[in-house]
Each structure stands twice: as structure tokens, then as C-alpha cells.
Structure 1
Amino acid sequence: MDHTTKTQKILVIDDEESYRQIISMTLQMTGYEVLEATNGLDGLAAAKMHHPDLILCDVNMPKMDGHALLAALRNEQEFAGIPFVFLTGNAGPGDLRKGMQAGADDYLTKPFSAEELINAVATRITKKRTIQKYFESQFDDIRSNIALSLPHEFRTPLNGILGFSQILAEEEDVAPEEVRQIGSMINKSGKRLHHLLENLVLFGQLQLWRTDAAKTSALRKERSGRVGDTLQAIIDDLMVKHERPGSIISTFAEAEARISAQYLGKIVEEVTDNALKFSDRGTTVSVDAVANGTTLTITVRDAGRGMTEEQVGRISGFQQFERGYYEQQGAGLGLALTRALTEIHDGTLSIVSEKNLGTTVTIALPSNP
């Protein structure tokens, strides 16, 4: 038994005193701190008061059953990430499915041995630690890259806004045509700053939502509407933004994805924006959305400068490559944001890239057949 388990707090909720005492004694002898409750209502109060590291809960109990307790915890962000293991004597396929759909992490079927109990608890606590370490490393990476990229990314558009507005404020004889040009430049800098701030906020929210089962479930219930209706306007706007008319060739299936139109649009906007940003004028970018059964596959291809395998593997928030050789705008959030949005909607993202030959980004999302 690792000594770190002495700090782990387990909440046992069961109305059968004999089972509850046996479980508590077994865990205490193994080194855990144990809290007890005799029904779901008291268990909910104990969970909120003590913030346990794991909950072992019977299904059928007075006042509030296990499923209702689990739903109550998963609906509150502060407690949604606590590992939850059901204890039951009736673990049929229907019961298992109902519990897992509600967000349970595991099932223990009564009667179970002390070894089965200890292994189940250790497995769930180890998994929780692994997830925590992963997010800590991600935030460390983000903090490190923020220090390098954000000062430049905020300063550049702000300098543009301040500099051009100062000209308007101090110069008396600015020609009308110059005023229009300056106003356009201020507007462009403002939009760049606004886009950066929006992406920063969304990226931070996604890091929190990953551990919020209720929020994740709600996101996956959204529907995009017809893909073409959602994406065509975004494609048109990007060609205007980059002053590359006709540079995007697109085909869209008659389908809808299990994601909101807003976030589907965000995914395609970020990936396609990168494709245009890092490819030369005169080349084309293709954006294709193909439906196959219950999967919508979106593929974005460019013939740009590409990335090495190492660079693809290092994609994360605020990570840019070869900035010393290429002037580029943005905090390096595009692909990281796209990956986070895709994964929280139960999708996958893959990148195939070859240096100086181009990049293909493939996003697979659940769809309605």
C-alpha cells in the first residue's frame, strides 16, 4: 500500500450496516480515511462537506437512491469530478448501462472480496491522479508558452490601435482618404485583439469543461443543423479576410453533426484560417465534409509550409513554430483549440503534415445518420 493513500478520503454510502462496516474496516486497514453515510441524502451532504477523493455508493437506499445522488453530484461542477463507484446486488446489463450513462466510473457487485474492493478503489484513485497530473502538465505548458507569445500578441494590435488613433487625434490636416485607411487599420487591429481574447476565454473554459460531466453531456446533445448552411458563410468570410478570392474549394455533405453550429463553425474557422495563413497566394485550400453512417468527417488540406513530425506532436495552446523565420499572427491556439473542441464532443482530430509540402487536418465528429 502506497503511503499516499493515507491522505485519500473515501465516502461509503450504504443503508446496510453490515456491508458498510466491512467496507469501512477493510479500507481503514489499507490506509484510507473513511467517512460513512446511511442514505443518499446524508451521503450528498457528506460529499459537499468533506469533498472525498472517491465515493462508494449503494444503488437502492431510502430518502435518495444512488442514481439520484450521482445525478445531483454530476450537476454541480465542484463535485462532478469525484470518482463514483456503485455497489449493488443487481448489476444486470440495464443497470450497468443506466449507471454508466449517468456518469458512474465503475460497479462492484455484491458480494465482493476484500481484494476486489481494494483493487477497484486503487484503480479509480490512480486514474484520478493521472488525470490531475495530465492537466497540471498541460497548464504548465500553457503558462510557459503564454509568457513567450502573449506579450507580442497583445502588444502588436494595441500599438496599431494607439498609434493610428493618435494620428487622428493630433494631426489637423489628415485627408479624408487617409482617415478611411487609418480607420480600416484600427478596425483590423481591434478585430485581431477581439479574436485573441475570445480564443483565450474559450480555451480556458474547455480545460474546465473536460472534467465537468454535466457540461460535457449538455454539449454533446447540441446539433449543428445542415453542415453546408453553417460552414459556407465562414468559408466566404475567410477568403475576404485573407484577400484570397476563390482560394478555398469546398464540398459539404447533407448532414448534421452532434455539436452546436457555433462550435462546428469555430473548428472549421480555426483550421481553415491556419491553412490560409501558412500557404502561399496562388495555392488552394480544400475543405470537405463527408457523412458516413454516424460519423461526419471534415478534411482541410493545404499546400503550405507544413510541419515536422516533432512539431505536430508538440501542438498545444500558445505554441508556435519557427517564428524567427516566419511572421505570423495569433497565439498559436488554433489547432489546440480545435483539438479540445473536437475531443469534448466525442470526436477525433488527426494531422498529417510534411515539411514544405502541406498539411491535412482530419476531424471526425458524431453525426445523425
Structure 2
Amino acid sequence: MTKILVIEDEPSLREEILDILESEGFDVMGAEDGVQGLHLAQTTPFDLILCDVMLPEADGYTVLSNLRQHPDTVLIPFIFLTAKVTRENVRQGMELGADDYLTKPFRTDELLNAITSRLTKQAAIVQIHQKLTHLQHSNLLKDEFIETASQELRRPATNIMMALKLLRQASNPEQTQRYIDRLQQECSREINLINDLLDLHYLGVNERPLQPETVNLQTWIPAIVEPFKTQARQRQQTLWSNIPPYLPMPTIDVADFKRILSELLNNACKFTAPGGKIVLEARCDLTASDAQMIMFIVSNEAEIPDEFIPNLFQPFYRVTEVDRWQQGGNGLGLTLVEKLAKRQNGKVQITSKAGWTQFTLQLPIETNLPVALAPN
């Protein structure tokens, strides 16, 4: 409800204005002098202020001047009420930041039209201000992202240059092979980082259209899991999946979904110690109120400290303290997971307690995702 303050020292006029505004659905408060009005304006959020020029204690110009000097009140629309308007009065008020003048006596329609006009303009100003603030914030985030991405891209390149230098100095086949392996590792890291950066860019500009397909999870998920089972066995980990046969067949973008599960499984393998367990399961409670959603849960036997969890989906954020295999990464995997889930009208959540970490991906079974048009 629009809240209006009326500062007027004449009791009958003040009550009349308050009654008119209240009958029009406004939330109103009144003040009988400038000091009281200024105090109310500074302690209570108002959408508009009507203020008499000639007031006891502090006149209207003093009230307006004080309000225009404080960031919380500088943008409040301010309309002067006065019995006598001269060119000098108007100029003084406008220089202080008044939005309008109403000459006493005024008609009800004049009062309401002045208020409506100012509130409409104020709404436009607030909208512009919000857009500017959003743009400034977006530009700041973009600058920070570019700076961090540049640093991340330089890191593998620096390691490649070092490995090449050492390769030239290698004195035996074992050293040569070790430096070649290091070169391959750093080249792969650079390529993965570039690919992830491109994927984030394409997601941001909606470059790749969604291509929904209805899939049978019983036959489709094992193909995704198998390479990670091999990886888990090499690390003396146990990875198993549970995909019940009664699950409905969801309609999803297969490429997005494969990327999400792969990132989550890769993370689970990376942070699980030898002998630890990793589990992928799918659930759908057909009797629940949210039966139109299907959940995919990737759990691994490792715990992430609470202070790290709020930042896990931030770009370039890493939790190196619990990276069991020092596998590293560019810190973009979970950022992509969250964005890809949202792209399919889903969400991903994390919990970590009692020695286990659990990522839960929730996706709609039937989706309204737009189908990509076939090229002409």
C-alpha cells in the first residue's frame, strides 16, 4: 500500500487531506510541524510527502533540504502546499529538489492528480535506478570473471612452458616420458577450461537450443556410469547405481543431463578416499504431492566442511583441502551443473554430514522445454 506523509500545521486542513487520501486507499500519517514531520520522514519509509511551506519549528524548505541530503530520503517525491506562490518561492523549492506545488485552496481532483503524476514518475525513476544498479553489478561481476578466467588460463600455459623447458634438458627416456605426460596433462586442463568457459558463455546467451528427448533411464544411465566404475576400481573405490524399473521416463535434454551426471560422478570420485563408496540412485515418489519430479542423487563417502558449501556453485571455486587425489580442476564444473539444471526447469542441492556428501538433482518428469527447430 502506498504510504504518504502529510505535514500541515492547520489541523482542519490536515485532517481533510488525510481523510481524502485514506478514502482513496492510501496509507497516511500526519505531522503538525516541520520538526515532527522531518522525524517521521527519517524514521518511516514513505512513498510521497505533502508538506506546507510555512510551518512552525522548521519550515518546509528546511524539511526538504534535510531530506535531500540523506540517501534514504533523497528520492522521495515531495509536493509543497502553499497559500501564496511567487516566482522566488517556486525557484527556491525547485532548487532544493521539490517535485511540485499545490496552491491552497485546491480541489480534491488537483490533489489526487498531482499525487498520481508524481508516483508514476517515481516508479519510472526507481525502475531505471534498479536497472542501472543491476548493470553496474553485472559489469563488476563480468570484470571479475574475466580477470579470474585470464589467471586460470595462464596457469596451465605457464606449466606447459616449464615442462617444455625441462623436456629439452631431459637426460634419459624416463625424464622425457615424465615431461611428455605433464605436457599432455596441462594441455588437457587448458582445453577443458576453454571448453567450460565456452559452455558458460553459450548458456549465458542461450546459444544452444534445448533438444528434449524422452529417455529410458534403465538403459541410458548405465552407459554414463560405466567409465566412472572403471575409474573407481582403479582407485579402490566402490561405485554402484540403483535405477528402479518403475521409474517414469523423463523428457530431458540428453546432452545437458549427461554433462550434469558426469560432473557429479567425477566430483564424487575425486573427493572419495580409497575404500570409500559412491552411490548414484534415482527416486520418484508417485504418491507424493511433487510426483511430477524425479530425483537423481549422487552420494559419496566424504564430508565437506560447512564453510565451503555456500560457495560450491561459484565460478572457479575449489575445495582443495579435501581433494583426495590432487586431481585439481578449474572450479567451473558445479557452476555448469547448476546452470544446466535451471535450464531444464530443475535444481541441484547439496548436503554434507555424518561422513557423506550428497548432491540431489531434481528435474520435472514432463517438461515444457521448447523443442529445437530442425534446420531448413
TM-score, length basis structure 2: 0.51
Matched residue type, 1:235: V
User: Structure 2 stretches of 5 or more lacking a match?
Assistant: 3-114, 368-376
State the distance in 2 between where 1:120 and 1:252 align.
56
Matched residue type, 1:236: E
Instruction: Select 2:282's aligned residue among 274, 286, 289.
Output: 289
State the distance in 1 between where 2:134 and 2:189 align.
31
Residues 244-294 of structure 1 show CA distances to partners (whole Å, capped at 9, x for unaligned) of 255322123455433222110111111222222223222111111234553
Q: In 2 relative to 1, CA 368–322 (structure 1 residues): closer, same or farther, beyond 3 Å? A: closer
User: Are the aligned partners of 2:167 and 2:180 in contact in 1 as well (CA < 8 Å)?
Assistant: no
Matched residue type, 1:290: R
User: Are the aligned partners of 2:281 and 2:297 in contact in 1 as well (CA < 8 Å)?
Assistant: yes
Q: In 2 relative to 1, CA 232–133 (structure 1 residues): closer, same or farther, beyond 3 Å? A: farther
Matched residue type, 2:328: Q
Q: In 2 relative to 1, CA 319–188 (structure 1 residues): closer, same or farther, beyond 3 Å? A: closer
Question: How far off is 1:161 after superposition?
Answer: 3.4
Say yes or no: does 1:247 pair with 2:223: no
Q: In 2 relative to 1, CA 173–141 (structure 1 residues): closer, same or farther, beyond 3 Å? A: same
Q: In 2 relative to 1, CA 311–131 (structure 1 residues): closer, same or farther, beyond 3 Å? A: farther
State the distance in 1 between where 2:222 and 2:328 align.
24
Residues 282-310 of structure 1 show CA distances to partners (whole Å, capped at 9, x for unaligned) of 211111123455322111112223131x5
Q: In 2 relative to 1, CA 184–320 (structure 1 residues): closer, same or farther, beyond 3 Å? A: same
Q: In 2 relative to 1, CA 287–167 (structure 1 residues): closer, same or farther, beyond 3 Å? A: same
State the distance in 2 between where 1:349 and 1:182 align.
39
User: Are the aligned partners of 1:224 and 1:230 in contact in 2 as well (CA < 8 Å)?
Assistant: no
Matched residue type, 1:333: L
Say yes or no: does 1:208 pair with 2:205: yes
Q: Which structure 1 residue ranges, 4+ long, deviate > 6 Å from structure 2?
A: 118-132
Instruction: Select 2:228's aligned residue among 224, 233, 238.
Output: 238
User: Are the aligned partners of 1:164 and 1:186 in contact in 2 as well (CA < 8 Å)?
Assistant: yes
User: How many percent of aligned residue pairs carry the same amino acid?
Assistant: 17
Instruction: Select 1:257's aligned residue among 250, 255, 260.
Output: 250
Which stretch shows the higher mean deviation, 249-258 or 356-365?
249-258
Map 1:267-346 to 2 at 5 A: 267-291=260-284, 292=286, 293-308=291-306, 310-320=307-317, 323=320, 329-346=328-345
Matched residue type, 1:244: R
User: Are the aligned partners of 2:320 and 2:328 in contact in 1 as well (CA < 8 Å)?
Assistant: no
Question: How far off is 1:122 after superposition?
Answer: 9.6
Matched residue type, 1:223: E
Residues 308-345 of structure 1 show CA distances to partners (whole Å, capped at 9, x for unaligned) of 1x533334432425657866622322222111110111
State the distance in 2 between where 1:123 and 1:349 align.
36
Q: In 2 relative to 1, CA 270–280 (structure 1 residues): closer, same or farther, beyond 3 Å? A: same
Larger relative contact order (Cα-Cα within 8 Å, sequence gap ≥ 6): 1
TM-score, length basis structure 1: 0.52
Matched residue type, 1:251: N
State the distance in 2 between where 1:133 and 1:358 align.
40
State the distance in 2 between where 1:143 and 1:259 align.
34
Residues 64-116 of structure 1 show CA distances to partners (whole Å, capped at 9, x for unaligned) of xxxxxxxxxxxxxxxxxxxxxxxxxxxxxxxxxxxxxxxxxxxxxxxxxxx99
Question: How far off is 1:352 after superposition?
Answer: 1.5
Instruction: Select 1:185's aligned residue among 179, 182, 186.
Output: 182
Question: How far off is 1:183 after superposition?
Answer: 3.9
Say yes or no: does 1:174 pair with 2:169: no
Residues 191-244 of structure 1 show CA distances to partners (whole Å, capped at 9, x for unaligned) of 2222221111112222233xxxxx79x52x512633354443433333555642
Matched residue type, 1:317: Q
User: Are the aligned partners of 1:279 and 1:305 in contact in 2 as well (CA < 8 Å)?
Assistant: no
Matched residue type, 2:267: N
Query: 1:363 — aligned with what?
Result: 361
* Secondary structure of the corresponding residue to residue 363 of structure 1: strand
Instruction: Select 2:217's aligned residue among 206, 227, 252.
Output: 227
Matched residue type, 1:332: G
* Secondary structure of the corresponding residue to residue 259 of structure 1: strand
User: Are the aligned partners of 2:236 and 2:274 in contact in 1 as well (CA < 8 Å)?
Assistant: no
* Secondary structure of the corresponding residue to residue 286 of structure 1: strand
Matched residue type, 1:154: L
User: Structure 1 stretches of 5 or more lacking a match?
Assistant: 2-114, 210-214
Q: In 2 relative to 1, CA 143–287 (structure 1 residues): closer, same or farther, beyond 3 Å? A: farther
Q: In 2 relative to 1, CA 170–275 (structure 1 residues): closer, same or farther, beyond 3 Å? A: same
State the distance in 1 between where 2:302 and 2:167 align.
38
State the distance in 2 between where 1:154 and 1:200 align.
10
Q: In 2 relative to 1, CA 265–188 (structure 1 residues): closer, same or farther, beyond 3 Å? A: same
Equivalenced residues, count: 246
User: Are the aligned partners of 1:302 and 1:360 in contact in 2 as well (CA < 8 Å)?
Assistant: yes
* Secondary structure of the corresponding residue to residue 288 of structure 1: strand
Q: In 2 relative to 1, CA 119–251 (structure 1 residues): closer, same or farther, beyond 3 Å? A: farther
Question: How far off is 1:119 after superposition?
Answer: 10
State the distance in 2 between where 1:301 and 1:365 align.
17
Query: 1:144 — aligned with what?
Result: 144
Q: In 2 relative to 1, CA 353–195 (structure 1 residues): closer, same or farther, beyond 3 Å? A: same
